Homo-oligomer: A and B are copies of this chain.
Amino acid sequence: MRKAVETAAQVCPVEVAVAVLGGTWKLTIVKYLLEGTLRFGELGRLLPLAGARTLTRQLRELEEDGVVDRKVFAQVPPKVEYSLTALGRSLENIVADLDRWGTNYASAAAQLGERAQQKSG
């Protein structure tokens, strides 16, 4: 259990959830993996803005937190497959809800933004 998660556990269960899932790219990774196993390079192409080092770390943390499973094939060229654990799959509804909320938020925020512009402009 990572330190951030332990601290969160002292506070509130929802805080635990954000400690595990809150990193940049993490929930998007989970969202993609919900559709099936992916190799490292495939994830990289799906997330063009994420660097290899960052992507690696996010995946390692998700692995350490028991959300994703990492399978290394001992071959040349190397091949590593990422998939969700049962814990990861249990996020399906939450991810779908957050996706809807985020979509809705984007349009709502666009209107907030317009009003803010009228205030300041």
Contact = CB atoms under 8 A, between A and B. Distances in A.
B102 A13 contact: yes
User: Can you tell how many copies of this chain the complex includes?
Assistant: 2
A87 B106 contact: no
A48 to B, nearest CB: 9
Interface in A15-67: 15-18, 20-22, 24-28, 31, 47, 49, 65-66
A104 interface: yes
A99 B22 contact: no
B22 A98 contact: no
Interface of A: 1, 5, 8-18, 20-22, 24-28, 31, 47, 49, 65-66, 87, 90-91, 93-95, 97-106, 108-109, 112-113
